[in-house]
Structure 1
Amino acid sequence: MDKEKDGVPISSLREITLLLRLRHPNIVELKEVVVGNHLESIFLVMGYCEQDLASLLENMPTPFSEAQVKCIVLQVLRGLQYLHQNFIIHRDLKVSNLLMTDKGCVKTADFGLARAYGIPVKPMTPKVVTLWYRAPELLLGTTTQTTSIDMWAMGCILAELLAHKPLLPGTSEIHQVDLIVQLLGTPSENIWPGFSRLPLVGQYSLRKQPYNNLKHKFPWLSEAGLRLLNFLFMYDPKKRATARDGLESSYFKEKPLPCEPELMPTFPHHRNKRAVPATSEGQGKRCKP
């Protein structure tokens, strides 16, 4: 608040208002808002989580097992289902905004870009969601946003946990679109009605790439796992998986079954050495704007 001239910024008020409304085991809990000695000293008192997934992924000697990935993703999907049922889009899902307690409970955090929405959907700023997790309709300038942008980011998170590295690490918006096309093929009106009318389509010369390469990227993944990834990565936002679709996916019902949260590793060693500079560098890699 030190640099604020006009009181609490609207984005902060929006975040506080949303967080005070939300109560779910897989959403970070805002316990209260506290004012310090001066009015500009405002503190949000949150439930404590020991880890964030981005720094864990950077520093783990071995990746999460598939059973552990399923445990994490199911918890994120439950939190998302709750948000979307309450007409809230997170708009900045990424591994650095997923926290984990030492009991293995995963909580979605950082609601600074989250918005409540209504029907009909009103226009919102397209410059949301960290680049690597940004849905193609946002990159192509859509002005209406739905819960499907969170579900695209969920696909990126699932793929990142499985591969132990970011799936689409673009360095610019043009590069990001190109990486998506390389992975999923070139979009068209056939598979994405309304695609050619998106505001920024004319600014990109999309490569002609007719193939979906997800299977080549994850050759060891089961048919059910590939089906879920493809469902999350549908170009047409209307056909993309919902959080409920994700929760009902057969991927979570086949072996290896999701482990129980309390059986998740707790990484006390990593927690104790978090002050080491390498960790913050590692986080920077995954927190690319």
Structure 2
Amino acid sequence: MDILQDESSRGQAVHTDNALEDGDGDHQPPIPEPVASSPPRQSQRAQPKTFLTGPPLTSCRHVDNYEKLNRIEEGAYGVVYRARDKQTGEIVALKKLKLENEKNGFPVTSLREIHTLLLAKHPNIVNVKEIVVTPSMKGIFIVMEFVEHDLKSLMGTMSSPFLQSETKTLMLQLISAVACLHQNWIVHRDLKTSNLLMNNAGQMKVADFGLARRFGSPLGHMTQLVVTLWYRAPELLLGAKEYSTAIDMWSIGCIFGELVNKEPLLAGRGEFDQLKRIFQLLGTPTERNWPGMAKLPGLKTFNFVTQPHNNLRSRFPYLTENGLNLMNRLLCYDPEKRITADEALRHPYFTEPPLPKDPSLFPTFPSKNAGEKRKVYETTPSAPKAAHGEDDGPGLFDVAGVESTGGFRLRI
């Protein structure tokens, strides 16, 4: 099985094959260019024949080239293992695709994932190395770079939130990766902390592209049942038939709040409860701050009590004014006015003190994915822990203690 990529299509508004789309739009076949009535004039001398050449075609390697070390996790579409390349000794993540219940051939979610990862190369997007198969060709595996942690599990073991300087670094990495996706006409549609990986070099990797898809201009209709509930934008919850890359930016706003307070920002128990929590936090939307919302079908189903106040400041008392402004712009009700990834990268929040921390200065933690057990180290003396991830400004280097997570934290 071979995967070829047309580099000339990058950054253009194109509609991909039906196998990679939701299938709810009509696709017209391309109109062939007119053929000249007579061939162009040739020189009297015989012209040498030319042949088109392309990338070499090679068969997929067998999965036997990898040694499985331990199982990392199992999801709806595959099982992920930590494995070692027997030839090079490199540690990788091996994702076995679930094909047992597939009736229509290769799963479309896996096609989307492979297609997206081959198209969007970025330091903060997980890298696909190759596709391998079993000798019988009944098992198909995606070989990806191994990353030690997922952000959700990692924060669950931390005794305090990330520092503000660390939060800024992680946010910049996330927004930069999403900007790359959007520039390549790709919408992720499932950004959440459990789909963000982080290595022990302080580098974040966006993963899990099973719901990602290419889009064009005009956008057209796409399926509404996307994005995990806690990170789902209000236009999706209210049944919008068309949406844009703005749904990814709303998810980033929810992740921002989770990084700052080390807890989910909007942990609803259903769609009605999720909308209720959004309105309680940001105030009930109106036609003034969200033109056209009255036409959304969900408003005919749900009946909400009017709450006119934005309560973000009380939820994030330690966040700077610039930080609060960025969060408000990420969580803007009107998708047309919601901040874009390119705009967010230039937001003044990232240039005010404390500045983003160098990733190499991030603490290191035992890797759950590698089967490492948590260690507790004694440190003498221990500096006070920062409250709610707040830095206390530039100063001398000091060790803020090794927290119960077993990670060393160097504060600047």
Shorter-chain TM range is over 0.9
Matched, 1:230 2:328: yes
Specify every segment of 5 or more residues in structure 1 that has no aligned partner in the other structure, as ranges: 277-289
Question: In structure 1, what residue type is equivalent to 2:275?
Answer: V
Give the Cα–Cα distance (whole angstroms) in 2 for the partners of residues 5 and 142 of structure 1.
30
Q: 1:24 aligns with which of 104, 112, 122?
A: 122
- The answer (yes or no) to whether the contact 1:54–1:96 under 8 Å persists in 2 is yes
* Matching residue's letter, 2:295: R
1:181–1:207: 8 Å Cα contact kept in structure 2? no
Q: How far has the Cα of 1:176 moved from its partner?
A: 0.1
Q: How far did 1:111 drift?
A: 0.2
| Distance change >3 Å, CA 43–CA 257, structure 1 → 2 | same
* 1:58 matched to 2:170: no
Deviation at 1:40, TM superposition (A): 2.3
> 1:121-270 residue pairs with structure 2 within 5 A?
121-268=219-366
Alpha-carbon distance in structure 1 between the residues aligned to 2:345 and 2:361: 20
Q: CA deviation at 1:14?
A: 1.8
Distance 1:275 1:121, change over 3 A: farther
Q: Which runs of 5+ in 2 are unaligned?
A: 1-98, 375-412
Identity across matched positions, percent: 51
Which structure's residues are more often strand, by fraction? 2
CA deviations on 1:184-230 (whole Å, 9 max, x unpaired) are: 00111111111000121111112110000001111121110010000
C-alpha distance in 1, partners of 2:114/2:275? Answer: 33
Pick the aligned partner of 1:77 from 175, 189, 196.
Answer: 175
Greater Cα shift, 265-274 or 11-20? 265-274
Hey, what's the Cα distance between the residues in 2 that align with 1:272 and 1:11?
26
Query: How many residues in Structure 1 have an aligned counterpart in Structure 2?
Result: 276
Counterpart for residue 196 of structure 2: 98
Please tell me whether residue 11 in structure 1 is matched to residue 109 in structure 2: yes
Deviation at residue 274 of structure 1 after TM alignment: 5.7
- Structure 2 distance, partners of 1:67, 1:201, is 40
Could you tell me how far 1:148 is from its partner in structure 2? Answer: 0.4
Deviations 1:14-58 (A, max 9, x none): 221121112100111111111112222000010111111000011
TM-score w.r.t. structure 2 length?
A: 0.65
Matched position secondary structure for 1:92? coil
Asked if 2 retains the 8 angstrom alpha-carbon contact of 1:155 and 1:232, the reply is yes
> What SS does structure 2 have at the residue aligned with 1:244?
helix
- CA–CA distance in 2 between the matches of 1:125 and 1:84? 18
Report the structure, 1 or 2, having the larger helix content: 1
Partners in 2 of 1:161 and 1:25 — Cα distance?
A: 21
Runs of 4+ off more than 6 Å: none
Please name the residue that 1:48 is paired with: 146
- Does the 8 A contact of 1:2 with 1:40 survive in 2? no
Q: What CA RMSD, in Å, does the superposition of the two structures yield over aligned residues? A: 1.5
Shift of 1:161: 0.4
The structure showing larger relative contact order (alpha-carbon pairs under 8 Å, at least 6 residues apart) is 1
Q: Secondary structure at the match of 1:200?
A: helix
How far did residue 5 of structure 1 move?
3.3
Q: TM-score, normalised by structure 1?
A: 0.92
1:60 & 1:80 partners in 2: Cα distance? Answer: 26
